Amino acid sequence: MEETVGALWHKLITGAAEKRYPQEAVTLTSIGKAAGIFFRALGGDSGLSVSAASATEHGARRSLKQRIAGSGARTELTWLDENTLRLPSALDILPQRSLNRDLYLWLIALAAVDEPGHTAWVVRSQQATLTVFDRFPGMRSRYQRLLDATLALRPDPAKLPEDEAAMEQAIRAALANPGSIDKLPRASRPPYPVHLWLHPNPPRTSPSQAGGKAPPSGEPQQEGDGKSKKTDDTKRRQAERVDMPDNKNPFILFFRAESIFSWAEYVKANRPTEDNNDPAADPAADDLNHLSVAQDGKSVASRLRFDLDLPSAAQDDMPLGQGILLPEWHYKKQILQPNHCCLQPMVAREAAPCALPHHLAATARRIRSQFEALTPARVWVRGQFDGTEPDLDACVQFTADRLTGHAAERGLYRAHHYRDRDLACLLLADLSLSTDAWVSDTARVIDVVRDSLYLFAEALSATGDRFSLYGFSSLKRENVRFHVIKEFGEKYNASVRGRIQAIKPGYYTRMGAAIRHASQLLAKQQATQRILFILTDGKPNDLDQYEGRYGIEDTRVALLEARQMGLRPFCVTIDEKAGSYLPHLFGIGGYVVIRKPSELPKQLPLLYAQLTR
């Protein structure tokens, strides 16, 4: 009963303090894909993904009702960091749904033209507004409608202290006439949030989020966790690393009773796995200003146990040669670092020749029969000047033209020609640790990848197309593992099937180095079409700085280099969030997302057939 009354009171007082229109709300989820497309279409950085922003404190004066309700202290604003465009998770501050949607579009346009620098926030915001007006004149009328609606939300200067009133008047003038205000008057409090501008003081990016240092030893980064529950919570929260408090005697309270409420800022929660998700954890995290994160050091039960140390030489795959030094792109410095990575070609040490698995036999027979129709065939070519037989149709047409006085020289013979498929394809499979995750009760990602390689090889061996199969994983830049499964000059046989059977999940996904070496191998093939097939289940990452934007940009440059060699890269992925980064890497039409991973083995050969039709 007490909880029910409390919930009703909270709803009542919050509704009275905060004037919002939930029935007119527009969520970021509903416009997420359109937001990314619109941002890039307006000239925004194509390497940024779109995600929800967390609420931050603004420090402005609040009304009495807001102070009683404990609301209005934080708000969601728009900002950009090195990896992400952060937009409010939902907009319901305006009385019409169309206005809330227009506000999203305006903020996206503002973010697309914003130029970070040391300019004051008010000047930079006005400059960005004028730039939007200049580049996209159609946004001016939308801005005027939004201006009239948002000014009604702002506090009345007549009810504010003198210094805050002067600052509010200056902001109103800057909104109404962009470019008219050079600086804001000083005031004892920050201004009320300006929903038509970007965040005045965005949260700083932590090193791990910026693609910096990896976590300390003992905190491995998991790429996949088996059958863990999915989550769509991509909000960014402020956190700080603290030491684990030593509370060996829980009956002795080492704090003053009057400070008990401050302990809500610290919640001891082990989150190395997602086996026991608390549904109330996300709302609780949203209510905290800062999250304190500590390393407990205690072991926990997990469905997935792994060791990221390299195996001994006797147990590891057999290296081929001394390793190959490859460059890597540093997107912050905009330079290609020579000899930055060491790629080690390897072949499975224990890969006994084997037959095609029984559960794939029927599917393989059907696919082979379909692909045999694509094999080179002898066809008649008409209208030739020399050939084995006269082309009767051409002779009749030539005679008719000559009788009408319009005869022109033409070929009067037909000849047999062989229509050859001049193709070469290299399939590069991601064998990182995330492929150890389960996609069903009986199969893991690596099992699906293995079946896909089997059927892909069966299909291409039926057409006679030249193809090769490789896999890759990595453990920092000094050890990029490149697994040789089938080379171009090798026949598809029981030995190749044995190597396919021997593939297993490994470390991380340094994709740029693997693509560069695969491109060099494929570029050596003399063929009209050279296709680089990349099979993956996630974005590039590694233990070092190869995380986030760094890995994305290096992979993108490696793909540009492949296209300059005359290759055609194409990505097949089962990552449901691939739409946030694959368009930047492969372009529209350069990738496909398989929504049901179990369908990948059947879909992969068909995708190849469509690409080479």
C-alpha 59: how far from chain center: 34
Confidence of residue 116 (pLDDT cuts 50, 70, 90): confident
**pLDDT digits 0-9 by tens, 16-43:** 667 788 899 999 999 988 898 899 899 9
pLDDT of 98 > 90? The answer is yes
Closest CA to 216 of 543, 476, 473, 547: 543
Distant-in-sequence, close-in-space partners of 389: CB < 8 Å, separation ≥ 6: 413, 414, 415
Is the Cβ–Cβ distance between 291 and 237 less than 8 Å? yes
Is the Cβ–Cβ distance between 265 and 289 less than 8 Å? yes
Closest CA to 238 of 293, 294, 284, 291: 291
Beta bridge partners of residue 609, listed in sequence order: none
* SS3 state at 378: strand
- Assigned token pair, 474: 């990595």
Confidence of residue 227 (pLDDT cuts 50, 70, 90): very low
pLDDT of residue 8: 74
Distant-in-sequence, close-in-space partners of 228: CB < 8 Å, separation ≥ 6: 273, 274, 275, 303
DSSP 434: G
Better-predicted residue by pLDDT, 276 or 143? 143
Stretch 126-143: mean pLDDT: 94
Distant-in-sequence, close-in-space partners of 440: CB < 8 Å, separation ≥ 6: 598
Cα–Cα distance for residue pair 339/229, rounded to 1 Å: 40
- End-to-end Cα separation, the chain, in angstroms: 69
DSSP 153: T
DSSP 469: E
Q: Write down all domains in the chain, each with its CATH number in brackets.
A: 2-176 (no CATH), 239-293 (no CATH), 321-371+421-611 (3.40.50.410), 377-419 (no CATH)
Give the global pTM: 0.73
pLDDT of 601 > 90? The answer is yes
Better-predicted residue by pLDDT, 564 or 405? 564
Strands in 413-419's sheet, in edge-to-edge order, are 377-384, 413-419, 389-390
pLDDT of 602 > 90? The answer is yes
Cα–Cα distance for residue pair 386/155, rounded to 1 Å: 89
Percent of the chain with pLDDT over 70: 79
pLDDT of residue 213: 39
Beta bridge partners of residue 598, listed in sequence order: none
Q: How many CB atoms lie within 10 A of CB 257?
A: 6
Q: How many CB atoms lie within 10 A of CB 120?
A: 14
pLDDT of 244 > 80? The answer is no
- Assigned token pair, 246: 């030593």
Helix %, strand %, coil % of the chain (to 5): 35, 20, 45
Is the Cβ–Cβ distance between 519 and 562 less than 8 Å? yes
Is the Cβ–Cβ distance between 25 and 61 less than 8 Å? no
Closest CA to 27 of 110, 106, 112, 97: 97
* Beta-sheet pairing, 49-53 with 84-88: parallel
Cα–Cα distance for residue pair 555/431, rounded to 1 Å: 16
Taking CA atoms, 576 is separated from 49, 83, 133, 307, in Å, by: 14, 18, 36, 27
Better-predicted residue by pLDDT, 134 or 247? 134
Beta bridge partners of residue 343, listed in sequence order: 324, 480
Stretch 399-424: mean pLDDT: 75
pLDDT of residue 519: 97
pLDDT of residue 441: 86
Closest CA to 585 of 574, 572, 597, 596: 572
Closest CA to 221 of 602, 543, 568, 606: 543
Element (H, E) at 141: helix 139-151
* SS3 state at 390: strand
pLDDT of 421 > 90? The answer is no
Least confident of 300-314, 337-351, 444-458: 300-314
Q: Convert 274-309 to b/e letters by CB count within 10 Å (16 or more is b).
A: beeeeeeeeeebeeeeebbeeeeeeeeeeebeeeee
pLDDT of residue 222: 40
Closest CA to 75 of 95, 89, 94: 89
Mean pLDDT over each residue of the chain, to the nearest integer = 83
pLDDT of residue 592: 95
Cα–Cα distance for residue pair 298/258, rounded to 1 Å: 32
* SS3 state at 417: strand
pLDDT of residue 69: 77
Confidence of residue 386 (pLDDT cuts 50, 70, 90): confident
* SS3 state at 85: strand
DSSP 482: E
